Structure 1
Amino acid sequence: MMTERQLLIVEDDEAFARTLKRSFERRGYDVLLADSLERVTALLTTNRPGFAVVDLKLGPQSGLACVAALHAHDPAMLIVVLTGFASIATAVEAIKLGATNYLAKPSNTDDIEAAFARSGGNPATPLAPRPTSIKTLEWEHIHEVLKDSDFNISEAARRLGMHRRTLARKLDKRQVR
């Protein structure tokens, strides 16, 4: 089934998924929900959504696999990655895999709809006025290692050469929700 305003929300947090669903339905979208790559694949056999919102971290899975599957299914689909674990490394990978935009949580329905509208790049975007700080570089490196270890905190801590609790504390300090 194909509708012009069909939206697929891929989110493992049931409460957040239901809230997003209701909000988008009030705006006239036909909303489908999935919580894993397997559920996405099953839904794509009978549906062809034009829009998707994908959480970057789906339990033990990475939402990047869902982005790749959605883009392979329909390259014209507008896909927004929504995450509480934002980093430059995952943003770049999401865009390479077919996402049209990448938003850090907390983001609301207005932010997501605006991201759908901004599917093209803007060459007039100003360059950052100052270089990246050491803390930001550390944060991005941690998230790159987390992504490479499939978001397994113990494995990421081992690869970073730090104690698992130290890494968990660093993640709790900077986590965006």
Structure 2
Amino acid sequence: MNDNDAPIEGDTSLLLVDDDKPFLQRLARAMEQRGFAVETADSIAAGLASVDERPPAYAVIDMRLGDGNGLDVVARLREKRPDSRVIMLTGYGNIATAVTAVKLGAVDYLAKPADADEVYAALTSNPDAKAPPPENPMSADRVRWEHIQRVYELCERNVSETARRLNMHRRTLQRILAKRAPR
């Protein structure tokens, strides 16, 4: 890590924001075992309150929670503590949200289910290091799904407008959006 990207020396404060409580508890225990001082939040409101009270050196934030979007927590954390290292987690990974997360200051973006080793590696990686090529690159089905998700986000999650722009029947698009991402 270079001095500009490194959090304050010796500060191991870590905020975990996720509304999946069993996952949140498992990840919190695993990160404590790796030496982090962990604080958890199960909503956007609790995450924002935690950032306002004690901005952490590290954060792992879920993209979509019941009360809003994790990007709001990223933006607030960047205001309060620009040197923090933020990792975004999501079960709905797509390129458009990954780009937005990185523009707001996230250093990495992991798809759920991410394990503690992946999260730890992302939090502690050298920001100047080049990422290795993927072992299993995206399938053609996954690339198609990513493109549909990107257009859907650009259309502000309007199904009818997205279907029109993709030249696709609205019901077909709804079926695709209701399914999980292909591998």
TM-score range normalised by the length of the shorter chain: 0.7 to 0.9
For the Cα contact (< 8 Å) 1:71–1:99, is it kept in 2?
no
Unaligned runs of 5+ in 2: 1-7, 164-168
Match of 2:101 in 1: 94
- One-letter amino acid of the structure 2 residue matched with residue 43 of structure 1: S
**Change beyond 3 A, Cα 1:144–1:65:** farther
Matching of residues 43-54 of structure 1 within 5 Å: 43-54=50-61
**Change beyond 3 A, Cα 1:15–1:135:** same
Q: Among residues 130, 142, 147, which one is paired with 2:148 in the alignment?
A: 142
Q: Among residues 162, 172, 182, which one is paired with 1:160 in the alignment?
A: 162
Aligned residues: 168
Unaligned runs of 5+ in 1: none
Secondary structure of 1:38's aligned partner: helix
Q: TM-score, normalised by structure 1?
A: 0.78
Work out the CA distance in 1 between the residues paired with 2:48 and 2:32.
Answer: 22
For the Cα contact (< 8 Å) 2:51–2:76, is it kept in 1?
no
- Runs of 4+ in structure 1 off by over 4 angstroms are 123-127, 168-171
Match of 1:107 in 2: 114
Secondary structure of 1:138's aligned partner: helix
* Aligned-residue CA RMSD (Å): 3.0
Work out the CA distance in 2 between the residues paired with 1:108 and 1:133.
Answer: 22
For the Cα contact (< 8 Å) 1:78–1:99, is it kept in 2?
yes
Match of 1:10 in 2: 17
Matching of residues 119-138 of structure 1 within 5 Å: 119-122=126-129, 135-138=141-144
Match of 1:66 in 2: 73
Alignment partner of 1:19 is 2:21? no
Q: Residue 101 of structure 1: CA displacement?
A: 0.7
